[in-house]
Amino acid sequence: MWPLAIFLMLVVGFYWLAFMGTIWFWFNAIVSVCKCHFIRAAIWFSLGVGMLFWWQGTEVIPHPWDFDEWLRTSALIVCLGVLATFVRWRKKQQAMQVIPTTMPTWTPPKAPANDNLITLFVKDKS
């Protein structure tokens, strides 16, 4: 009886971890998009989609999904994330290079009037 229980615990544990992994992938994809980390979001999104395809294949009627097609599509999605990150970086660079005409010029601070005087602070001994 123990071998059967151990086997069932391992099977249930495997599917539980796969389910939690799927949720974790999608959660990280959403959080990464909100933080504008597009490459990271594309990778998490691809993993989440792959897990959804894997879950679809575990139904009673098997539906084999093409791993190579998923891998190519994931690479395309990650490339789109790279392009989005490049566009964000380029816009940031262009904004930093533009100097507004209303920007005030820097003036150095004035020298103190008592430049050569030594100031002594004495505590009263009373």
**Contact between 32 and 44 (Cβ < 8 Å):** yes
Task: Indicate whether 7 belongs to any domain.
Answer: yes
Residue 34: pLDDT over 60: yes
Predicted pLDDT at 118: 65
Residue 61: pLDDT over 50: no
- Residue 39: give the domain boundaries: 2-96
Task: Indicate whether 113 belongs to any domain.
Answer: no
pLDDT tens readout for residues 91-107: 988 888 876 667 677 78
3-class SS string, 40-97:
HHHHHHHHHHHHHHHHHHCCCCCCCCCHHHHHHHHHHHHHHHHHHHHHHHHHHHHHHH
Task: Indicate whether 14 belongs to any domain.
Answer: yes
Please give the C-alpha separations between residue 125 and each of 10, 30, 58, 104, 121, in angstroms, as whole numbers: 83, 69, 90, 50, 13
How many CB atoms lie under 10 A from the CB of residue 84?
16
Task: Indicate whether 35 belongs to any domain.
Answer: yes
Residue 66: pLDDT over 80: no
Task: Indicate whether 101 belongs to any domain.
Answer: no
Total number of residues shown for the chain: 126
Please, what is the average pLDDT of the chain? 82
Query: For the packed helices 67-97 and 38-57, what is the interaxial angle rounded to 10 degrees?
Result: 160
How many distinct structural domains can be found in the chain?
1
Task: Indicate whether 83 belongs to any domain.
Answer: yes
Task: Indicate whether 108 belongs to any domain.
Answer: no
Task: Indicate whether 114 belongs to any domain.
Answer: no
